[in-house]
């Protein structure tokens, strides 16, 4: 048997069910490795002691019918966990201990999973490098001083470094797929309405979705099955019949029509990414898929649209952090001064910047010029995809315009940081499912990802295409454990 922490979710659940491993052995193995991996800074809060107790409890009365029987899992620190501190990577929630549980994490525990701890992320999920976190940046296990992507950077690093078998991230503009691409892991953003938003610290409510981050596509299908559910507590949760994704997982994609959008061939895109894309196309052909050139004419307008819509929603969502009911408070002479000081000291620079953008585009006299305009362009972007999906079953693109960059490289230039999400943002604007799978490496040996985009609620199809491509690509993430300490 291979080392416990390097096993996939599929292997771990099989080994538990066949009684080759106990939940306690597995849980302790992940905790031991975490103790030696502090340099990566993936954890904001650990739950190790309780996790061991719970694993013993599971072993004393195991239920092997569950989908995550006694499996320890760490989650992004954006999910409210009852009794366990939830910070969203922000000083303003530094001392916040929820008294309720998010629906998607509740789904994990209901299927037998055990909480290992809460993973670092960009503050309020606003960032593409995990550098905006109040709790410091995360190291990418792929190489020292490299960002793990963001905002689910602690999550992507934890999966790549074998610190959790799988995890859940959230994706508002690419926050699952971009970090997955940067770390050689798999990340899926489900259709808007597939996973409940209840109990997730809100960033931009019309874009936010939770989704699985895993070592491979099969694990991704198993995990999606657990977290996707209809929920009365989320008014935009959609009631539809969800597939048994892992059971219906198949490499047979013969005859599937896969679209290649010409607008994703952007200026200054490295040759390696162009090559990676070509390889993906030829693998898809090898599998019997039909390749069709398509056009998504408003692609270039997606990022500017996103940087109106997302900050507008964020400025409204983050109005609740006023120092009155929970979280950090800075004292003031009067109520207004307390609000202003609390928010000034409690939020980091990027969050403040986005609240300011959002406040401005929603303010009197500018609403029509910016916010309404952006909502109209969002309609055009969605229509691009509707038109494309009348001709094809799925769309194949690169996940990101570059591989992981160095820590500090882009922190002084917000716009260059925003450009990271150029291939992922349109999918959120249109509410579609998208998955990033590792597909190759650049000249520095850093991973690069390919993205498969599907029709609404067609997660099965993009999982199957990814499963077939994964087999052909045969990606190996050679991570040297350079960060381990004794």
Partner 1 sequence: MSIDLKTVKHISKLARISIDDEKANKLKGDLNNIFEFIEKLNELNTDNVQALTSIAETTLRFRKDEIKSENIREKILKNSPEENKDFFVVPKVVE
Task: Clarify whether 76 is annotated catalytic.
Answer: yes
Q: Which of residues 248 and 413 has its CB atom nearest to partner 1 in the complex?
A: 413
- The answer to whether 202 contacts partner 1 (rule: CB under 8 A) is no
- The answer to whether 43 contacts partner 1 (rule: CB under 8 A) is no
- 416 in Cβ contact with 154 (< 8 Å): no
- 120 in Cβ contact with 150 (< 8 Å): no
From the list 14, 335, 386, 387, which residue makes contact with partner 1 (rule: CB under 8 A)? 335
- The answer to whether 379 contacts partner 1 (rule: CB under 8 A) is yes
Site string for partner 1, 249-288 (x = CB under 8 A): ----------------------------------------
- The answer to whether 316 contacts partner 1 (rule: CB under 8 A) is no
- As a whole number of Å, the CA-based R_g of the chain is 21
Annotated active-site residue in 37, 152, 175, 402: 175
Which residues make beta-bridge pairs with 452?
Answer: 396, 435
Smallest distance from partner 1 to CB 470, Å:
29
Q: Which of residues 98 and 438 has its CB atom nearest to partner 1 in the complex?
A: 98
- The answer to whether 100 contacts partner 1 (rule: CB under 8 A) is yes
Helices 302-317 and 349-362 cross at an angle (nearest 10°) of 100
CA distance 72 to 167: 10
Ramachandran angles phi, psi of 406, nearest 5°? -75, 150
Task: Clarify whether 151 is annotated catalytic.
Answer: yes
- 179 in Cβ contact with 156 (< 8 Å): yes
Omega within 30 of 0 (cis) for the link into 151: yes
Annotated active-site residue in 23, 55, 67, 76: 76
- The answer to whether 244 contacts partner 1 (rule: CB under 8 A) is no
Q: Which phi-psi region, left, alpha or beta, contains residue 42 (left: φ > 0; alpha: ψ -120 to 50)?
A: alpha
- Cβ-based neighbours of 149, under 8 Å, separated by 6 or more: 128, 129, 130, 140, 156, 178, 179, 180, 181, 182, 183, 400, 404
Q: Which of residues 174 and 431 has its CB atom nearest to partner 1 in the complex?
A: 431
- Cβ-based neighbours of 279, under 8 Å, separated by 6 or more: 439, 440, 473
- The answer to whether 322 contacts partner 1 (rule: CB under 8 A) is yes
**Residues of span 66-95 touching partner 1 by CB under 8 A:** 95
**Residues of span 154-183 touching partner 1 by CB under 8 A:** none
Smallest distance from partner 1 to CB 19, Å:
40
Q: Which of residues 139 and 305 has its CB atom nearest to partner 1 in the complex?
A: 305
From the list 188, 377, 453, 469, which residue makes contact with partner 1 (rule: CB under 8 A)? 377
Distance set, CA 349 to CA 53, 122, 127, 204, 419 (Å): 40, 12, 11, 18, 18
Q: What are the catalytic residues?
A: 76, 151, 175
Residues in contact with partner 1 by CB under 8 A are 95-97, 99-100, 192-193, 206, 232, 235-236, 238, 298, 300-301, 303-305, 307-308, 315, 319, 322-329, 331-341, 343-344, 347, 352-353, 355-357, 359-360, 363, 370, 372-380, 382, 414-415, 418, 429-431
């Amino acid at each position: 048997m291979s080392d416990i922490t390097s096993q996939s979710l599929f292997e771990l659940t099989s080994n538990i069910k066949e009684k080759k491993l106990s939940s306690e052995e597995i849980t302790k193995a992940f905790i031991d490795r975490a103790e030696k991996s502090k340099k990566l800074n993936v954890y904001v809060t650990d739950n190790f002691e309780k996790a061991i107790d719970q694993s013993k409890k599971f072993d004393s009365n195991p239920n092997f019918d569950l989908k995550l029987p006694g499996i320890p899992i760490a989650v992004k620190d954006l999910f409210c966990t009852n009794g366990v501190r939830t910070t969203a990577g922000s000083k303003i929630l530094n001392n916040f201990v929820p008294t309720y549980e998010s629906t998607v994490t509740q789904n994990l525990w209901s299927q037998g999973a055990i909480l290992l701890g809460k993973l670092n992320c960009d503050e309020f999920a606003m960032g593409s490098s995990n550098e905006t976190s109040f709790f410091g940046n995360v190291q990418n296990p792929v190489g020292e001083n490299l960002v793990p992507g963001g905002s689910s950077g602690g999550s992507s690093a934890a999966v790549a470094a074998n610190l959790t078998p799988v995890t859940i991230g959230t994706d508002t503009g690419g926050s699952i797929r971009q970090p997955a691409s940067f770390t050689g892991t798999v990340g899926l953003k489900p259709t808007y309405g597939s996973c409940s938003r209840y109990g997730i610290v809100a960033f931009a409510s019309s874009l936010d979705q939770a989704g699985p981050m895993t070592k491979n596509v099969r694990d991704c299908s198993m995990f999606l099955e657990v977290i996707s559910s209809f929920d009365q507590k989320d008014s935009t949760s959609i009631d539809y019949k969800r597939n048994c994704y892992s059971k219906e997982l198949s490499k047979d994609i013969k005859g599937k029509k896969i679209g290649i959008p010409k607008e994703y061939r952007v200026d200054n895109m490295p040759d390696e990414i162009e090559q990676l894309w070509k390889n993906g196309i030829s693998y898809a052909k090898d599998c019997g898929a039909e390749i069709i050139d398509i056009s998504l004419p408003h692609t270039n307008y997606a990022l500017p649209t996103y940087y109106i819509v997302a900050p507008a929603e964020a400025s409204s969502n983050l109005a609740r952090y006023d120092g009155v009911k929970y979280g950090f408070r800075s004292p003031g002479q009067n109520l207004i001064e307390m609000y202003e000081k609390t928010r000034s000291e409690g939020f980091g620079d990027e969050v403040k910047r986005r609240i300011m953008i959002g406040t401005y585009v929603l303010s009197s006299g500018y609403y029509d010029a910016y916010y309404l305009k952006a909502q109209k362009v969002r309609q055009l972007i969605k229509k691009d995809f509707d038109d494309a999906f009348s001709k094809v079953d799925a769309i194949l693109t690169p996940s990101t315009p570059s591989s992981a960059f160095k820590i500090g490289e882009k922190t002084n230039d917000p716009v260059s940081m925003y450009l990271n999400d150029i291939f992922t943002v349109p999918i959120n604007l249109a509410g579609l499912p998208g998955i990033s799978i590792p597909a190759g490496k650049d000249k520095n040996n850093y991973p690069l990802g390919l993205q498969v985009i599907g029709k609404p609620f067609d997660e099965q199809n993009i999982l199957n295409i990814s499963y077939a491509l994964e087999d052909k690509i045969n990606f190996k993430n050679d991570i040297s454990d350079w960060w381990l300490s004794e």
